[in-house]
Amino acid sequence: MQKGKEGKPHIGIFGRRNYGKSSLLNVLTGQQIAIVSDQPGTTTDPVKKSMEIPGIGPVVLIDTAGIDDTGDLGIQRIHKTMQVLERIDMAILLISNNELGECELSLLHEMHASGTPFLIIHGKSDLVPADPDLCSYLQNKYHVPVVEFNNTHPDNLEELIRAIRNFMPETAYRQPSLLGDLVGQQDVVLLITPIDTEAPEGRLILPQVQAIRDILDNNCIAIVLKEDQTGSFLKNTGIMPKLVVCDTSVILKADASVPKNIPLTGFSILLAHHKGEFEKYLEGTPAISRLDDGDRVLIMESCTHHVSCDDIGRFKIPQWMSSFTGRKLDFDVVSGLDHLVKPITDYALVVQCGGCMITRRQLSRRLKPAIDANVPVTNYGMAIAYMQGVYERAIAPFLP
């Protein structure tokens, strides 16, 4: 599992082997997504499927391997399952036969400790009904419902959907506006979108699309153009945008062509403010000036994409940072949501991408080890603006 999917809330399904996790995924989606078998251990890798839940919207369901797996491969599967726990907004623990063993208790502890919302399903209830005393114990200890459910005859599917809806935190699916606090109705927002080797064929990159949609949702007017058209457009039309947002790779050109009285920022900076941890980025960005010879910098991409010679994270930022500091720096790049190879304390700085493809919770958990270890963190756009000498202007729209 490399990435989130456009910020959709993620729901993980956990439980022992052959307890009906895959069947539950199929029942919830109404499709035969996961292979179902009486053979324990059928699911070996996480299986993902999107669906719509009324009141929440689109979500991603993740079926996982059994938490009681055995053997060397089984240990690896359990490890992958526990990694899923770090990337979800809500969990479903499936139990059966009124069994609550060490593997369930360990998982419950991890979910409770990490603040992951969860509910419990007692499955195969047609064979062995849930013990009222066990249900009462779980409800009192964890303050969560225990829903009896039968995948073969899912008569109370609506009850289960309601429970999921009630326990999914609103912050997972009701995102604040990207720029609603910066503009008002009928304001003009100018988007500068360079078409270079990193631009996908025939379409725009996701942050640009998200910005256009958010502008329309706020009843504003979006004008989209390339960086070499900006100056002439503003001069010839006399239009005064309320805000200009540019790809941060061309922010120096935008700074030169956009009058100083018009607020200017970057798509990545917009996302940094939107996704959270903005204050930590403000604290951490100036640490670029304190980097020294031999320091190691971690570049964190949150998606997997084709790498070109103009790649912003893998090539441009390291080049700009080495030139700006005049220091011999080492760079590591981590793609997707994989675990780090080196301890976070090995790094003098962490540079996180905008995070357009992951949820707020995923991004927050991604940065937490660095923040807890007092390793400075910054964002692609904020780091670039800092090194290009336009940092104060680029962050000004978000300051009091």
Does residue 236 lie in a domain region?
yes
Does any domain span residue 398?
no
Number of domains in the chain: 3
* 106-129 burial code (b ≥16 CB/10 A, e <16): ebbeebeeeebbbbbbbbbbeeee
Are 289 and 355 within one domain? yes
Whether residues 17 and 160 fall in one domain: yes
**304 belongs to a structural domain:** yes
The answer to whether residues 201 and 283 belong to one domain is no
Tell me whether residue 182 is in a domain: no
Which one-letter amino acid corresponds to residue 244? Answer: V
Considering the domain architecture, whether residues 301 and 372 belong to the same structural domain is answered as: yes
In 18-112, the DSSP E strands lie at 47-53, 57-63, 90-96
Are 192 and 216 contained in the same domain?
yes
CATH number for 289: 3.40.50.11410
Residue 110, φ and ψ in degrees, nearest 5: -65, -45
Q: Are residues 74 and 148 in the same domain?
A: yes
Q: Residue 343 falls within a domain, yes or no? A: yes
Which residue, 148, 172, 196, sits at the end of a domain? Answer: 172
What DSSP element (H or E) covers 227?
none
Task: Give residues with Cβ within 8 angstroms of 41, minimum separation 6.
Answer: 17, 18, 65, 66, 69, 74, 77
* 228/86 same-domain check: no
Both 148 and 291 in one domain: the answer is: no
Asked whether residue 53 is assigned to any structural domain, the reply reads yes
Residue 362, domain member (yes or no) = yes
Do residues 146 and 207 both lie within one domain? no
Same domain for 154 and 23: yes
The answer to whether position 181 is within a domain reads no
Three-class secondary structure of residue 274 per DSSP: helix
Given strand 221-225, what is the order of strands in its sheet? Answer: 221-225, 188-192, 243-246, 264-266
What pLDDT, on the 0 to 100 scale, is given for residue 222? 96
Structure tokens given for 39: 């053979």
**Do 83 and 205 lie in a common domain?**
no
Domain that holds residue 196: 188-270
Tell me the CATH number at 61.
3.40.50.300
Same structural domain, 291 and 324? yes
Its pTM surpasses 0.75: no
Of 113, 137, 172, the one marking the end of a domain is: 172
Helices (H) and strands (E) in the chain, counts: 14, 14
- C-alpha distances out from residue 31 to 43, 50, 52, 199, 207, Å: 16, 11, 13, 35, 31
Q: For each of the chain's 400 residues, which pLDDT tens digit applies?
A: 333 344 688 999 999 988 888 888 888 888 665 444 455 544 556 788 888 888 888 899 999 989 988 888 888 888 888 888 878 889 999 999 999 999 999 999 888 888 889 999 999 888 899 999 999 999 999 898 899 998 888 888 999 999 999 888 877 677 778 898 899 999 999 999 988 666 667 778 888 998 999 999 999 999 999 999 999 999 999 999 999 999 988 999 999 999 999 999 999 999 999 887 899 999 999 999 999 999 999 999 876 544 444 678 888 999 999 999 999 999 999 887 667 889 999 999 999 998 877 778 888 888 999 999 999 999 999 999 999 999 999 999 999 8
- Tell which of 270, 285, 304 closes a domain: 270
The rounded distance, in Å, linking the Cα atoms of 153 and 133 is 24
